[in-house]
Amino acid sequence: MNRGPLIFLGIFFALAFSWTGVVLTNQIQYGSLTPFYDQGEGKTFPEQRSGLAERGRLVYQDLGCLYCHSQQVRRPGFGADTERGWGERQSVARDYVNDKRVYLGTMRTGPDLRNIGARQPSPDWHFLHLFDPQLTSPGSIMAPFGFLYEYRRIVGERSPKALKLPGDYAKRRSLDTPGYELVPTARAEALVAYLLSLKDTYEFPEAKPYVPKKSGGAK
């Protein structure tokens, strides 16, 4: 192999091969996949996110949540995703067509979040959990996000959004000063709105909820 140009051509076509196959072909195959209009419901799925949730997506992105949480449900029988209640059905490509950036993720240090909005619909739970995961999930190794909250003097009335911390916890963390309250910042609110928007609880012709067989050994 002493001919430079020939080596170069080989090198060029080697990468051109996978670029065509993995990138171009898929872009042509389903790069213009559209949302699905459900005539029964009179709505288009997946639905657009609210502006607040869209801002929350950016918080999710800047804090690097995807390094511990995936957003994809594997098919029943491949892993235990549906058994764990992470989704009623497997995720399909159409679920993601409205996501400006796709956070499929490759790690499950924590649980999958593709349907966290359906699984854990309470904003209060999320606010407590993000402030200190030990409050809601003792033994968790998730990072606390105290910096998304503000401990401030109550002006006028107590904010309806103020966190209701357990008494002994507030005391231990010195968060029980009378006249003070712990409130989520705008970023925390946006992030929770985004988490609550994560729910693929609709059907596509190509993706229906998994119904386990009544009899038979296969799980």
**Residues 14-43 close enough to bind another protein by CB under 8 A:** 14-15, 17-19, 21-23, 25-27, 29-33
Q: Is 67 in the site for another protein (CB under 8 A)?
A: yes
Piece in contact with another protein (CB under 8 A), picked from 7-15, 162-170, 188-196, 209-217: 7-15
| Binding string, residues 159-198; x marks residues near another protein by CB under 8 A | ----------------------------------------
88 is written with which tokens?
């009623």
Rg, the chain, Cα only: 23
As measured in angstroms, the least distance from the Cβ of 29 to another protein is 6
**43-65 as b/e, with b when 16 or more CB fall inside 10 Å?**
eebbeebeebbbbbbebbeebeb
Binding of residue 8 to another protein (CB under 8 A): yes
* Binding positions for another protein, 45-64, rule CB under 8 A: 60-64
Task: Annotate each residue in 108-147 with x if it binds another protein (CB under 8 A) or - if it does not, as one string.
Answer: xxxx---------------------x---xxxxxxxxxxx
Q: Among residues 49, 89, 94, 129, which is the contact residue for another protein, using CB under 8 A?
A: 94
How many angstroms separate the CA atoms of 67 and 162, rounded?
29
- 166 CB contacts (<8 Å, ≥6 apart)? 135
Strands 43-45 and 149-153: unpaired
* Residues within window 141-160 making contact with another protein, judged by CB under 8 A: 141-147
**Burial of 13: CB neighbours in 10 Å, binned 0-12, 13-18, 19+:** exposed
